Structure 1
Amino acid sequence: MIVDCAIYRDGFRESVTGDVGSALASVRDQPGAFLWVGLHEPAEGEFDEVARELSLHPLAIEDATEGHQRPKIEQHGDSFFVVIKTVAYTRPTSVTLGEIMLFVGADFVITVRHGPANPLAPARARLEEDRKLLSEGPGAVLYTVLDEVVDTYTVVAHELESDLMDLERRIFTRRGGDHTEDIYTVKREVLEFRTAEDPLLPVMQELVKGRIRLCANLSDRFRDVQDHLLRMDQQIDAHNELITNVLTAHLALLGRQQNEDVRKISAWAAILALPTMIAGIYGMNFQHMPELKWPIGYPLALGVMIGACLMLYRRFKRGGWL
């Protein structure tokens, strides 16, 4: 559905009173004016009407309708098509991906949003407050949307970093338990986040180099967004490497803990085996056995058992087995 539609002239917003076609005709009569139509998960017929009025490329229309595209930028005649992945974070450790697709022409911008992440109302409000930036035309819309999305990347990356630090503390707590599943959960979310931000780097390179004519005047602003994205990419690489190291260390700790458990079980088995052997021998009920007629035979056997067990316990304790 159409969530917002407005005309922008000389840095000011004007409401659209008619349909998209009449609004587009009005902005084409004035240099510097443009139409911004925002849609959120539009119905097929609704988007077809907008696409027909603006003569959008059929392949770009198909991508915008179906969604699930990688971040990219494509030139189609006098307009271009941009796909941006959006991210949202919800606890515990869940990264949700969405998409924003922009059709940018000399006098129009169409934004198609899929998923709940990164609503564009804050970006539109921010742009409307900056008349100087707004006067740059449709390219300013693309810059503002990219800047808002990359800022959200920063927030989500910090949340993932917090989860990773918390997981690391729990893992290295003595006898912290098996956290292998938790580690793979965080790693999966980091990799999913990376599928959103990493393919956006080539898109930013195209914009920074000024290869898109409509955005050539905003290269410095796009370079600033690219710098933020590069730092984010390095941070995500560091997170991914740290998770791999944490997993390796965790498996080593689990192996060491299992060895300690086996040693303890073996030590107690050895301690209990000695009195069991003595009791088993004296339980054979042979007639001619030593000490059977001694008055102190029974307490002597018990004493030997206890003394031997204490001696073994002391030896195992010194050796670190207990």
Structure 2
Amino acid sequence: MLRSYSREADHIVPADLATADQQTLVWFDLVNPTPQEDREVGARLGLDIPTRDEMEEIELSARLYQEDGAEFMTVTALTGLDTDDPQKTPVTFILKDQVLVTVRYAEPKPFAAFIARARKANGLHCTSGETVMVGILESIIDRMADVLERLGNEIDAVSREVFRSKVSNVTKKTRDLQSLIEQIGRKGDFLTATRESLVTISRLVAYHAALETPGRKPPKETRQRIKLLQRDAVFLSDHAQFLSGKINFLLDATLGLINLEQNQIIKIFSVAAVVFLPPTLVASIYGMNFDVMPELKWQIGYPLALGLMILSAIMPYLYFKRRGWL
């Protein structure tokens, strides 16, 4: 799908390629483009639109480069941020002169949010392709900030579940901890994807700000917005790293609690074995088939043996209790 937008009173409006003034076109948005649409936009601007396979390459030289007088910059965006399973998708920004081309194969919400803001009368000013790109990146950063805030609150909730659980049943508590490990794993994967996206955005902004293109001198306001974008991306990346550290701590703590629960069960079995070992010894002695065993003929032999077994079981129990092992 090919969507085009032109500039009208410093705002963007949808444009029809057949009738629009070519001088006012500032943005071509290629969404799941067909080869014909790629060729059409490429022919208008004199450049080659990268394929999806080329966009997914991870080498820095394949994501940030100049060609045919245009800047090609690819970031990793995220879709499905309202779920626990976000999907990564490449988005390429191509800047040539005053025109922006975006190539994407998904519908991240920041694009729709940016378009809604830019079309308002008192919304964002979009006088060129560069300002459109900056506005889109700002929307992506805002979305990332909201997601990290939500993830931080969810991680705090998991932390309370780990350290303030009031479940007394060992089996249920272990089952709850295993469920928490799954939640922690999902949060960790989410943060990894978020950090990867933020790193690519930070690199794009740094590359664009450092690039010297003849005849390009963005306004002071745009330069300030680019600097703010770079700072925000670095700050959010650091915050995501902090949350990742907290996730790792919670994972270690949860595994430690599970080990403690398992050790407690093993300790109970060990103490039970030690407690019943002396009675077993007494019973084994009087279960021998020897002819000469004087105790077998005693009137009080049977209750004496039972009492001796009970006493030999109570004494280790009291000893363990006094030592605090139970």
TM range (shorter): 0.7 to 0.9
Deviates more, 1:298-307 or 1:242-251: 242-251
Shift of 1:104: 2.0
* Matched residue SS, 2:244: helix
Of 147-156 and 7-16, deviating more is 7-16
Which of residues 309, 313, 316 in structure 1 aligns to 2:317? 313
* Residues 113-122 or 204-213, more deviating: 204-213
Instruction: Please name the residue that 2:301 is paired with.
Output: 297
| 1:187 paired residue number | 188
Distance 1:201 1:6, change over 3 A: closer
Residue equivalent to 1:147: 138
Judging changes above 3 Å, is the alpha-carbon distance between structure 1 residues 253 and 133 closer, same or farther for their aligned structure 2 residues?
closer
Give the counterpart letter for 2:138 in structure 1: D
Post-superposition CA distance 1:218-268 (Å, at most 9, x none): 110111222211210111121222233334444444444444333322111
Query: 1:216 maps to what in 2?
Result: 218
| 1:92-124 per-position Cα deviation (integer Å, ceiling 9, x unaligned) | 632322232222223422222223433522211
SS of the aligned residue for 2:298 comes to coil
Letter matched to residue 195 of structure 2: R
Aligned with 2:4: secondary structure? strand
Aligned-partner SS, 2:218 = helix
- Alignment counterpart, residue 114 of structure 2, candidates 114, 123, 129: 123
2:192 maps to a residue whose letter is L
Query: 8 Å contact 2:7–2:13 — kept in the other structure?
Result: yes
The aligned length equals 310
Paired letter, 1:27: Q
Q: Does 141-150 or 207-216 show the bigger shift?
A: 207-216
Unpaired stretches in structure 2, ≥5 consecutive residues: none
Residue of structure 1 equivalent to 2:246? 242
2 CA distance for matches of 1:295 and 1:90?
A: 82
Q: Which amino acid aligns with 2:218?
A: A
Shift of 1:66: 4.7
**How far apart, in 1, do the equivalents of 2:197 and 2:94 lie?**
19
CA distance in 1 between partners of 2:81 and 2:314 (Å): 56
Deviation string, structure 1 residues 296-319 (Cα, Å, up to 9, x no partner): 211121112112212211111222
Separation of aligned partners in 1, 2:122 and 2:133: 15
Structure 2 counterpart of 1:265, from 269, 272, 289: 269
Superimposed CA distance per residue, residues 54-98 of structure 1 (whole angstroms, 9 cap, x where no aligned partner): 222x3xx23456532458443334332222222245576323222
Is residue 210–residue 219 contact of structure 1 (8 Å, CA) maintained in 2?
no
Is contact 2:191-2:244 (8 Å) kept? yes
Task: Out of 282-291 and 295-304, give the one that drifted further.
Answer: 282-291
TM-score of the superposition, structure 1-length normalised? 0.82
Corresponding position of 1:109? 100
RMSD: 2.9
**Alpha-carbon distance change, 9 to 78 in structure 1, aligned in 2, over 3 angstroms:** farther
Counterpart position of 2:10 = 11
Unaligned runs of 5+ in 1: none
8 Å Cα contact 1:100-1:111 kept in structure 2: yes
Shift, 1:146, TM fit: 0.4
Identical pairs, percent: 25
- What pairs with 1:271-282 in structure 2 (closer than 5 Å)? 271-282=275-286
Mapped to 1, the partners of 2:79 and 2:217 lie a distance apart of 28
Asked if 2 retains the 8 angstrom alpha-carbon contact of 1:127 and 1:133, the reply is yes
| Correspondent of 1:27 among 8, 22, 38 | 22
**TM-score, normalized by length of structure 2?**
0.82
**Distance in 1 (alpha carbons) for counterparts of 2:112 and 2:254:** 44
Instruction: Give distance in 1, aligned partners of 2:104 and 2:83.
Output: 25
The 1:15/1:39 distance shift into structure 2, 3 A limit, reads same
2:236 aligned residue:
232
Give distance in 2, aligned partners of 1:134 and 1:121: 16
8 Å contact 1:83–1:101 — kept in the other structure?
yes
